[in-house]
Structure 1
Amino acid sequence: MKKLLTLVALAFVAGCATQNETSAPLSLTATSFDALAGWERENFSSLLPVLRQNCHRVMQLSPETSLGGADELPYGREAGNWSAACAALETTTDARSYVQTWFQPYAVDGNAFYTGYFEPQIEASLTRGGPYQTPVYGRPKDLVRTKATNGQMVTGRWDNGQFKSYYDRAQIDQGALDGQGLEIAWLKSPVDLFFLQIQGSGRLLLPDGSQIRMSYDGKNGQPYVPLGRVLVQDNELASSAVSMDSIRGWLEAHPDRMMAMMERNPNYVFFRRDDGSLAQGATGAFGVPLTAGRSVAVDRSVIPFATPLWIETKLPDAKGQPAPWQHLVFAQDIGTDIKGAGRADLFTGWGAFAQYVAGNLHEGGRMVVLLPRPPADSSAP
């Protein structure tokens, strides 16, 4: 997704938030399950499918495969670290007992910060015509990733033997990709495309009533600039008023400035058609379908894929009021603006309420990382 990005948190809201703690190095303190607020009220029966989904994916990897994670983590950074816990899962019917036996909780020191992302539902056509004039582009053939002289991976294109940055949003809007046959769908509005790219995947509602999914298939390598931050800096929006709805509202209310404003973010996302089941979310960066309310995007350099996280925060309820939300989620995605310890982006699903929650979720809280116990741990059977 945001990748899966996504793509994989409401980046423009996060970009406006103060997150001093989340940019600090990872610091952990061992804790107990009794110290997790709301642990006894968790819906444990719903956890087994996600746990098994994660283990199935991990066990497809060679034992030495890195799942990510900071050096400070005592265990769980390689696929092989999960073999004992995943083997035990095969015969488990009691999720609470399983998690408490095979995982050790560590509280992330400092405040956590949470945002949300979702799968937008957008009117579209597979052919150009009438109101459908904004193309959704597939991945260009000349978009490549290569290793720079400093050893870092970079994205760009080769031009007469020289490696150059890939076209930015403004250049693509002005026709840099015309004539390559990359159009895989057509939308009614450039604003719809912009929000589809922010989320990293989405569902297209076709004129015949059917739906298809667009999934993330790469980005141009240009820096991501949160539009909410730009609008605040330009005194167009108050920082307290930044949300997905307010940003969309500003764009639609200023059609003469809309394109120039969106082009302040040079980052551009490409898509592919995903014919997977629409009963689940799009596939995240970890390679498993996302589950609403259980999947989060994290900074993979801090938190390994598959890791369970206990979240204590607040989510907006149907009346717009923040309500306590304490649940176990799983690191299954990454996001462009999801950086640092204690930072996570909750996948809220699809539909109007999922959009509402994602667009209004920017809350602090507590994060607890659950790492698999080594087989020799005396608390594991």
Structure 2
Amino acid sequence: MIRAFGAALTAFAVMAAGGAMSETTMKIISFDELEGWAQDDHEAARQVFLNTCMDFDAPDWQTICAAATGIKDARNFFELLFRPVLIEDGAPGLFTGYFEPELDGSRAPDGRYRFPLYRMPPEARKATTWLTRREIETTDVMRGRGLEIAWVDDPVELFFLQIQGSGRIRLPDGSHIRVGYGGANGHPYRSIGVELVRRGVYSAHQVSAQVIKNWVRRNPEDGPELLRHNDSYVFFRVVNRVSPEEGPLGAMNRSITEMRSVAVDPEFTPLGAPVWVEKDGENPLRRLMIAQDTGSAIKGAQRADIFFGTGDKAGRAAGKLKDEGRMIVLLPIQRAYAMLPESVL
């Protein structure tokens, strides 16, 4: 599941359902009320917490970060310094998954690697709206200018990498290049999934990233034309701040961790805060994660996107996830009680 694509579908579904947000409520609960709390690997969660806690500005969070390695037992660390807070806004809990795409590519083109990832040209950066996807792909405007970062072997995966905005390129020697969003041509995004529904090819509930990929590949003429229905075009940059072997950067500009980092709505959940996830569905999950990322469609107190890692296997697992449950935020003790309305104190 490509994150932006899946998030857009989820947002569309919520809008179609006519859901409305109600007043936000907050309730402190005990650690005993967290189902499966005692069985989790709290040390793994603490290590992920340490990846970003040094970025907190607030004194209470800074104090906790300083104490994070001083308390020997990780479970005691969380239980002594935090309180679980259930924050609700009237919408049911919903968990989805996202991942970092990994494409096969090369630093030089050949018979297999023919589709380039481009840096943003200077004239596009200066323009509010530049050329369309079709004009970029079917003319010589980009060629011979040294703007290529790498060439990949699959134009469909490249298209979805642009939707995602970041990913990793696996080179023939086994090394990697990590790329991030480097700018866009200024045209609004047009959903090719919505276009397939409009054409009557699929109904809305059938559309997924994998369904679209399969359709494009089965239709060698109409497939590329469908992709060009989306005028928006994304350019990339090489991300050197962290090793390509580490996790991608999240919203806190730090590497995120497979199955321990979660994207949240910062209007309700502070970035960097520990979050207890109780996800139901086919593969129930009870795990302490850290809120280290955000997403354009991750809106609401009980809405979260779980990071599944890098590559196809992670993508398949993430694409299956759309489950209910609940999310409890762990906040510093004084902060937790200060947030409660006076009527419940």
| TMscore range, shorter length | 0.7 to 0.9
Distance 1:121 1:372, change over 3 A: same
2:308 counterpart of 1:348: yes
Q: Structure 1 residues 52, 178: CA separation in 2 closer, same or farther (over 3 Å shift)? A: same
What does residue 18 of structure 1 align with? 14
Confirm or deny: 8 A CA contact 2:176 2:245 kept in the other structure. Answer: no
Work out the CA distance in 2 between the residues paired with 1:368 and 1:308: 9
Per-residue CA distance 1:15-38 (angstroms, 9 max, x = gap): 553366986367232131222222
TM-score (norm 1): 0.75
Q: Which residue of 2 aligns with 1:152?
A: none
Counterpart CA distance in 1 for 2:181 and 2:118 is: 11
1: CA distance between counterparts of 2:298 and 2:190?
A: 13
**Structure 1 segment 1-381 matched on structure 2, within 5 A:** 10-11=6-7, 13-18=9-14, 24=21, 27-32=24-29, 33-58=31-56, 63=57, 79-109=58-88, 110-142=91-123, 157-158=126-127, 164-175=128-139, 178-179=142-143, 180-220=145-185, 222-275=187-240, 276-314=242-280, 322-374=282-334
Return closer, same or farther for 1:360/1:80 CA change in 2, 3 Å cut-off: same
What amino acid sits opposite 2:117 in the alignment?
V
How far apart in 1 are the matches of 2:325 and 2:319?
18
CA distance in 1 between counterparts of 2:38 and 2:184 reads 42
Q: Secondary structure at the match of 1:114?
A: strand
Counterpart secondary structure, 2:13:
coil
Change (3 A) 1:175 1:358: farther
Would the alpha carbon gap of residues 358 and 248 (structure 1) be closer, same or farther in structure 2, given more than 3 Å must change? same
> 2:46 corresponds to which letter in structure 1?
L
In 1, the alpha carbon distance for the partners of 2:170 and 2:266 equals: 32
CA RMSD of aligned residues (A): 3.1
Taking every aligned residue pair, what percent have the same amino acid on both sides?
A: 37
Cα distance change on mapping 1:377 and 1:299 into 2, 3 Å: closer
Structure ranking higher on relative contact order (CA contacts 8 Å, 6+ apart): 1
Could you say what secondary structure the match of 1:309 adopts? strand
CA distance in 1, matches of 2:78, 2:40: 12
- Consecutive unaligned residues in structure 1, runs of 5 or more: 1-5, 64-78, 145-156, 159-163, 316-321
> Partners in 2 of 1:36 and 1:177 — Cα distance?
57
> For each residue in 1:148-189, what CA deviation from the matched residue of structure 2 results, as whole angstroms up to 9, or x when unmatched?
xxxxxxxxx44xxxxx33545344334495155321111123
Q: CA deviation at 1:364?
A: 2.5
Contact kept? 1:10, 1:345, Cα under 8 Å: no
Once the two structures are TM-superposed, the CA of residue 306 in structure 1 deviates from its matched residue by 0.9
Within 2, Cα distance between the matches of 1:24 and 1:111? 10
Once the two structures are TM-superposed, the CA of residue 225 in structure 1 deviates from its matched residue by 4.3
